[in-house]
Amino acid sequence: MEVSPELKDRMKRLRLGGVLPTLTDRAALAAHEKLPYLDFLELVLSDEVERRDNGNLARRIQAAGFEEEWTVERLDWNVPVRFDRARLKDLLSLGFIERQENVVFVGPVGVGKTCWGSALGHSACRAGYHVLYRRSDVLLGDLLRARADHTVEREMPRLIAPDLLIVDDFALRRMDERASSDFYELVIERHTRASTIITSHRTVDEWVAAFDDPILANSALDRLAHRAHQIVIEGESLRRREAKLAGRTGVPSTRTAPEADGPTPENGRPETPPPGSLAARLAEPLAGARRAAAPRATTRPIVRRKKTRQKTPSTYRSPPGGMLVVTPGGNARGE
């Protein structure tokens, strides 16, 4: 069964071109099942509605600007951190958005504040709400640049308009006068009009110190806290816990990007050894020194002696079955 060019043209004029890829299959199914004409029409239109809903959801998620797409299904409710799970499950009903209320996640580093805030935002996207995610430093930087090029009249409404604004990592550092004023204005404009989610490593009481003007701080925080659900998350960093379970030391690597010829976790080779360990000392470049691997116990120790005393070259001595460590002073010792 083929679709005629005339039918294709009419469907495209009605903006139903998305039905065409599955139309022949649906027509064959309808003929096989002997569906009534209205049932066949409902089946085709249901496909188009589902296609449009999925497309709209994808666009809302993309427009939200999540740094990482966290969904409720992806999160683990049994993680070893303490928080009010019943209250968070109630927030997932998204009633707080309908009531223009705020949500505040506070807790130490790595306990999942960003994950839960983003999951609420993703659920709001699914429900058809307009969501915008921004890290605090990015949001304030955008407003600063907008004031510099005289486009703040366009930038501020873009932050005020969303049904749900997620401000991540708030109050990491102190804001200057301009940033304090911009954040105050944003809070005032969104108060009782839309919902805001804020995540922070600091408690709400400590946020006052992040503002340049304590009067602006108290005014803004009073409005945020007046209609806010506060979720305090306590416990060990989940990243550190995962590192321990994986048998790692939990000491973060000092490199910010993989080296071209160095081992990285991504390529399956061991990552940078912990500072102070034997592996780190062996990997540490020492001027004028070379590494020597010791032979196994089945061979006799090898001693390389210096030929002249005009210079002070390093002395290498390999103990049986041991590892050779060259110290910065030019001496070698067995490990």
DSSP, residue by residue, 209-267: GGSS-HHHHHHHHHHHHHTEEEEE-EES-HHHHHHHHTT---PPPS-SS--SSS--TTT
What is the average per-residue pLDDT within 171-175? 93
Residue with tokens 């400590």: 206
Total number of domains in the chain? 3
Angle, CA 60 vertex, CA 57 and CA 66 arms, to 5°:
115
* Residues 232, 84 share a domain: yes
Q: How confident is the model at residue 275 (pLDDT cuts 50, 70, 90)?
A: low
| Residues 233-245: tens digit of each pLDDT | 998 887 776 666 6
Which DSSP symbol is given to 205?
A: G
Three-state secondary-structure class, residue 119: helix
**What CATH number should be reported for the domain holding residue 211?**
3.40.50.300
| Residues 76-95: tens digit of each pLDDT | 888 888 999 999 999 999 99
Residues facing residue 325 across a β-bridge? 333
pLDDT at 238: 74
What is the average per-residue pLDDT within 209-223? 93
Please check the confidence at residue 162 and state whether its pLDDT lies above 90.
yes
* Residues 77, 56 share a domain: no
pTM of the model: 0.69
Q: Mean pLDDT score of the chain, rounded to an integer? A: 79
* Residues 59, 154 share a domain: no
Segments forming the whole domain that contains residue 221? 72-239
Residues facing residue 229 across a β-bridge? 103
pLDDT at 180: 95
Q: Is residue 79 assigned to a domain?
A: yes
* Residues 188, 108 share a domain: yes
